[in-house]
Amino acid sequence: MDSLGFKELTKVDEAVERVLSLLRPLGVEEVSLEEAVGRVLAEDVYSSVDVPPFDRATMDGYAVRAVDTFGASKLNPVTLRVVRLEEGFALGEGEAVEIATGAPLPKGSDAVLPYEDTKRVDDVIEVYKPVPKLGNVSVKGEDVRRGELIGERGRIVQAWDLGVLASIGVKKVKVVRKPKVALFSIGNELIDLDEVDEPLEDKIINSSRFVLKGLLENIGAEVSYKGILPDDPLVIYKAILNSLNNYDVVVTTGGVSIGKKDKTVEAVKRLNPELLIRGLAIRPGKPTSLCVVNGKLIVMLSGYPVASSVGFEALLKPVLGRLMGMKPLPIPKVRGILTRKLVAPVNVRSYVRVRVFRRGKEIFIEPLAVTGSGILSTLTRGNGILVVPEDVEGYDEGKEVDVVLLRGIEEVE
């Protein structure tokens, strides 16, 4: 038994793999392009057309034969006849046809002369500048080839993807359904913010719900906050059982330590879970527990906002990301020098809030309070997180480490 009373703490990566092997897939839905931003593609998307669909003018001007313009200059303009082409006829030598941006190049022409390089007098233009072959022309399929892969399964659709999808005429895309999450807060000591008029002696404002809802929505979940439950296993059991019908995931915060009144694990045991993992090798957040019931995930996070956000980061985020089949977006990181020695327990992955600041040309990393999962203010004081892996016992002062940047680097002096 370690100090928190857990017999054995499960490593995070192991917990993630075990849980994922048991979860039901989320399914797929079709959404319009506008709704697709931030969603995860559920299938590979191939282009069914060439872009452009034909050789196309990229400027307004005259379609010409490039060879007819060679040698043209301001002093020695070339003269071309402006004609109107009948259907099926090709442009002849010394001829030019007016053309608008985006229009197909007429037969016989192979370049577009922009208006500004010409001067028109009646049906004749003076050409002041030669245009090379295919000048101001976008060639059929040069941008996107028919059959080309446009977006692969697992890609998070970003704004600029829509440009390509729209251009090839895709109106809807298949994306992974958002995981629906029911969020409960557990603890007799809790009260909801909107029920507080003045500071109360014996109650703690339920702040984790806001943190968790925000974090879950950030990664694309749909979250319903279901209120505060008392430390009563029967009430907790019934509430979770009820939610399992309508939600993919149940997340609870609180009531999960080894304490007389911590009843969440007792409650979920009544659901006959096919997997129950009690206690994770993360710090803070050791009490973080999880179980799977009928292919649905129940994650029990610590009641403390700092510990619950670490439980989210270490467990919920990778599990939901993988469940959605998501290729994660890159996260901003920075390398800096530790301002003091940092000791971390071995066999546990530690998430240390840090303050990242630049003095002169060097970037420094100052670890904030390592202990005290109740220390809320590190959430707002810190601008980075240093993750210390399980096999590392800590770092010496002056060591260079990589941290995840949550906000901008502070400038000092």
Among 218, 242, 272, 347, binds a copy of itself (CB under 8 A): 218
Candidate ranges 65-73, 241-249, 330-338, 386-394; the one touching a copy of itself (CB under 8 A): 330-338
Candidate ranges 18-26, 86-94, 149-157, 294-302; the one touching a copy of itself (CB under 8 A): 149-157
Among 74, 84, 171, 361, binds a copy of itself (CB under 8 A): 171
| 295 lies in the site for a copy of itself, by CB under 8 A | no
Taking the least distance from each CB to a copy of itself, the nearer of 158 and 294 is 158
Which residues in the 231-260 window bind a copy of itself by CB under 8 A? 257-260
| 159 lies in the site for a copy of itself, by CB under 8 A | yes
Q: Which residues on neighbouring strands pair with residue 133, listed in sequence order?
A: none
Q: Which two tokens stand for residue 2?
A: 């370690």
Identity at 79, one-letter amino acid code: T
Contact between residue 273 and residue 179 where contact means Cβ atoms under 8 Å apart: no
We find the least distance from the C-beta atom of residue 315 to a copy of itself, in angstroms, to be 16
**Pick from 168, 157, 200, 164: nearest CA to 327:** 157
* Alpha-carbon separation of residue 393 from 334, 342, 389, 396 (angstroms): 21, 9, 8, 10
| CB contact set of 35 (below 8 Å; sequence gap of 6+) | none
Taking the least distance from each CB to a copy of itself, the nearer of 296 and 383 is 383
| 102 lies in the site for a copy of itself, by CB under 8 A | yes
Distance from C-alpha of 278 to C-alpha of 234, rounded to nearest angstrom: 19
User: Residue 122: how many CA atoms within 13 Å on its side-chain side?
Assistant: 2
| 55 lies in the site for a copy of itself, by CB under 8 A | no
Contact between residue 170 and residue 206 where contact means Cβ atoms under 8 Å apart: no
Distance from C-alpha of 179 to C-alpha of 35, rounded to nearest angstrom: 16
We find the least distance from the C-beta atom of residue 410 to a copy of itself, in angstroms, to be 11
Q: Which two tokens stand for residue 77?
A: 């303009």
We find the least distance from the C-beta atom of residue 49 to a copy of itself, in angstroms, to be 6
| 368 lies in the site for a copy of itself, by CB under 8 A | no
Residues in the interface with a copy of itself (CB under 8 A) total: 93
Taking the least distance from each CB to a copy of itself, the nearer of 35 and 390 is 35
Number of C-beta neighbours around residue 231 at 10 A = 21
Taking the least distance from each CB to a copy of itself, the nearer of 330 and 360 is 330
| 363 lies in the site for a copy of itself, by CB under 8 A | no
